C-alpha cells in the first residue's frame, strides 16, 4: 500500500493507494497550524476504514513544500518516523508537483505555470510541460520565489520573455491559490487561470510515483535524504545571509586579499550591476545570455547567490545560482574572453561555493551541453563528475 500526505499548506491532504496506484481513500481537511494534531489520527482512521493495517505500507510519499516551514517539517518528521519503524521507502515531492499531476489527470496538455501564495507579496512559481509522452509531466523551470508584481508583468504581459522553445505561450494555463488572493490582478491581466484547481492534493503524488516508478527507483529513498524544500530562506537565515554578504562586500571592496589575481576582486551582484553583467553575457554567450529582467529577478531572490569579479571598475566575470535544499545549482558563469585562462572562473566559482556553504550546502550541480567540451573540461578540473 502507498501512503501519501502533505502538511505544508493550510489544507491537510492524505491519500492511500494500492501498489499499482489505485486510490483507496483520500482526505482533504482544513488544518491551519494544527496538522501536527490531525495527521496521525486521520491516517490511522483511514487505514482502519480501508480494512488494512499500517504494516502494509510499502512506500511513503511526502510533500516537502514550499509552504509552511513548520508544516513541511511536521510531515517530513512523520514520514521519517514511519519509514524507520516500518522499514519502507520514503520519497519527497514538492507540493507544486501535485498541481501539475492533478492537471495532467484532468486531461490538460500543454504549458502549465503553478503560482501559490508565499506571503510577503510573493509567490511560489513552478513551470511544467504536460504531454502524452513520458515523462508526461516535465518540469521546465525549478520552483522559485517571484515578487507578485514581477509575476504578473513577466508571465502575464510579456509573453516574449521566456527563453524556452518547448513552451507554447499561446495555450499556457495557470493554476494555484494565487488566483484567489490576487483575483483582481488575474482578471485584469486576462490570464487563463484554472480556478477549479486551487488546493494541492497528495493523491497526485501517487500518480507522479507510479508514472515515474523507474526514475523513483533510481532515487535515494532513504529517510536521511528527505529534507524540506523552502524555496526561500527563513527570516533568521535571511538576516544571517545579509550580514555575511555585507561583511564580505565591505572587506573585498576595501582591500585586495589572497583571492585576488592582480587587481581582481569579487563582490555580490547588486541591481546597479545588472546592465553591465547582461552586456558581458551578450558579448560572450550570444543567444545563451540572460536578459536584464531575468537576471534582476534572480539577483533579487534571497535564495540565490550571485557574484561578479572586477578589475578596477570593470566587471570581467559574473555568475550565480540557487540554494536548493542541500545543493547549490549553478545557473550561469561568464568570463570576459580577455581574462580566460587566468583562473578567474575558478576563483569566481570557489567564491560562490564558499557563500553557499553558509547555508549547509554540500553539493554543487549544473547542466552543461555535451557539445560544450571546454565547459565540461573546466568543471571536471574543478572536481565535478558527469552524472549523465
CA-only gyration radius of the chain, Å: 22
Q: Can you tell me the distance from the alpha carbon of 347 to that of 257, in angstroms, rounded to the nearest whole number?
A: 12
Q: Can you tell me the distance from the alpha carbon of 125 to that of 66, in angstroms, rounded to the nearest whole number?
A: 10
Collapsing DSSP states into helix, strand and coil, what is residue 134?
coil
pLDDT confidence of residue 362: 79
pLDDT confidence of residue 375: 86
Parallel, antiparallel, or unpaired: how do β-strands 59-63 and 122-130 relate? Answer: unpaired
Mean pLDDT by 10 residues, the chain (388 residues): 92 94 92 80 94 94 89 91 92 92 90 88 89 89 82 57 41 82 76 77 93 62 70 61 58 42 78 94 91 90 89 90 86 92 90 82 85 87 83
Q: Can you tell me the distance from the alpha carbon of 266 to that of 195, in angstroms, rounded to the nearest whole number?
A: 46
pLDDT confidence of residue 174: 86
Instruction: Count Cα atoms within 13 angstroms, Cβ side, for 190.
Output: 5
pLDDT confidence of residue 161: 39
pLDDT confidence of residue 356: 85
pLDDT confidence of residue 160: 37
β-bridge partners, 93: 63
Parallel, antiparallel, or unpaired: how do β-strands 110-117 and 173-175 relate? Answer: parallel
Q: Can you tell me the distance from the alpha carbon of 79 to that of 148, in angstroms, rounded to the nearest whole number?
A: 33
Q: Can you tell me the distance from the alpha carbon of 231 to that of 304, in angstroms, rounded to the nearest whole number?
A: 10
Identify the CA nearest to 209 among candidates 219, 199, 200, 197. 219
pTM comes to 0.61
Give the chain's end-to-end CA distance (angstroms, integer): 33
Amino acid at each position: 500500500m502507498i501512503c501519501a500526505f502533505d502538511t505544508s499548506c493550510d489544507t491537510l491532504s492524505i491519500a492511500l493507494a494500492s501498489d499499482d496506484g489505485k486510490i483507496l481513500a483520500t482526505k482533504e481537511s482544513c488544518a491551519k497550524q494544527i496538522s501536527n494534531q490531525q495527521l496521525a489520527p486521520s491516517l490511522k482512521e483511514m487505514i482502519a476504514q480501508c480494512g488494512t493495517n499500517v504494516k502494509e505500507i510499502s512506500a511513503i510519499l511526502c510533500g516537502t513544500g514550499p509552504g509552511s516551514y513548520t508544516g513541511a517539517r511536521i510531515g517530513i518528521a512523520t514520514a521519517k518516523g514511519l519509514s524507520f519503524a516500518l522499514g519502507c521507502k520514503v520519497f519527497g515531492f514538492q507540493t507544486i508537483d501535485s498541481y501539475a499531476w492533478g492537471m495532467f489527470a484532468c486531461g490538460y496538455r500543454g504549458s502549465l505555470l503553478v503560482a501559490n501564495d508565499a506571503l510577503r507579496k510573493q509567490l511560489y512559481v513552478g513551470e511544467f510541460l504536460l504531454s502524452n509522452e513520458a515523462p508526461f509531466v516535465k518540469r521546465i523551470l525549478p520552483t522559485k520565489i517571484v515578487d507578485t508584481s514581477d509575476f504578473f508583468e513577466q508571465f502575464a504581459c510579456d509573453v516574449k520573455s521566456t527563453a524556452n522553445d518547448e513552451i507554447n505561450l499561446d495555450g499556457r494555463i495557470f493554476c494555484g491559490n494565487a488566483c484567489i488572493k490576487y483575483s483582481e490582478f488575474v482578471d485584469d491581466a486576462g490570464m487563463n487561470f484554472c480556478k477549479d484547481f486551487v488546493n494541492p492534493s497528495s493523491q497526485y503524488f501517487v500518480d507522479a510515483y507510479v508514472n515515474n516508478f523507474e526514475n523513483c527507483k533510481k532515487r535515494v529513498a532513504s529517510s536521511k535524504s528527505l529534507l524540506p524544500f523552502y524555496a526561500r530562506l527563513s527570516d533568521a537565515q535571511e538576516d544571517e545571509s545579509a550580514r555575511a554578504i555585507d561583511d564580505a562586500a565591505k572587506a573585498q571592496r576595501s582591500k585586495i586579499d589572497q583571492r585576488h589575481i592582480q587587481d581582481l576582486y569579487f563582490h555580490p551582484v547588486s541591481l546597479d550591476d545588472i546592465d553591465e553583467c547582461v552586456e558581458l553575457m551578450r558579448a560572450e554567450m550570444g543567444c545563451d545570455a540572460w536578459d536584464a529582467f531575468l537576471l534582476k529577478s534572480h539577483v533579487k531572490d534571497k535564495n540565490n547567490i550571485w557574484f561578479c569579479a572586477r578589475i578596477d571598475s570593470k566587471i570581467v566575470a559574473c555568475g550565480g545560482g540557487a540554494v536548493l535544499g542541500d545543493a547549490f545549482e549553478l545557473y550561469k558563469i561568464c568570463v570576459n574572453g580577455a581574462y580566460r585562462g587566468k583562473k578567474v572562473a575558478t576563483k569566481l566559482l570557489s567564491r560562490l561555493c564558499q557563500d553557499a556553504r553558509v547555508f549547509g550546502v554540500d553539493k554543487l550541480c549544473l547542466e552543461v551541453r555535451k557539445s560544450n567540451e571546454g565547459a565540461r573540461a573546466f568543471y571536471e578540473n574543478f572536481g565535478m563528475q558527469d552524472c549523465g
